[in-house]
Amino acid sequence: MFRFALFAALKGTSSSLASSDSLVGLIVALTGLGIFVAVAVYILSKLRRGPSSQPPSARDDLVKFGALYESGELTKEEFSQIKRAFAASLDAELEAKKAAAANAAPGGDRQARLAQLLRDEKR
């Protein structure tokens, strides 16, 4: 169809009917080609980006393990161990962030001591 439309447009027929048909055919063919190119560019841009380099968050992991527990693939003990491991990991990460912030901010040492007192009080 594209070849016919292109050939008819280039041939320059004298009939107005043939001329309008060839023009319509050319427009349809170019529109189809444009859509094809747009889709190809979109797909290639998605492929080039690749998967995100960020690891899944702790919340995502806990939701996944929670679903496994609900489905019966994990026992209550296994799920409790996983939650404790995540809590310990998050506590260590939080402590590291607080220590870094305390070293960077004036008066941060006092805030770190208060935070430690509050944590000790909760236990």
Mean pLDDT of 69-81: 91
Are 25 and 5 in contact by the 8 Å Cβ rule? The answer is yes
The pLDDT confidence band at residue 67, using thresholds 50, 70 and 90, is: very high
Instruction: Give the whole-angstrom CA distance, residue 111 versus residue 123.
Output: 19
pLDDT of residue 35: 93
Q: What is the pTM of this model?
A: 0.37
Ranges of each domain in the chain: 2-49, 58-122
Least confident interval from 19-28, 45-54, 79-88, 94-103: 45-54
Q: What percent of the chain has pLDDT over 90?
A: 16
Instruction: Give the whole-angstrom CA distance, residue 8 versus residue 64.
Output: 61
Provide φ and ψ at 55, rounded to 5°: -70, 155
Q: What is the pLDDT of residues 8-38, one digit of tens each?
A: 555 554 455 557 788 888 999 999 999 998 8
Are 107 and 97 in contact by the 8 Å Cβ rule? The answer is no
pLDDT of residue 99: 80
Q: What percent of the chain has pLDDT over 70?
A: 72
Provide φ and ψ at 43, rounded to 5°: -65, -45
Q: Which residue has the higher pLDDT, 62 or 53?
A: 62
Say how many CA atoms lie within 13 Å of 63 toward its Cβ.
5
Mean pLDDT of 34-61: 79
pLDDT of residue 118: 78
Burial of 22 (0-12, 13-18, 19+ CB in 10 A): buried
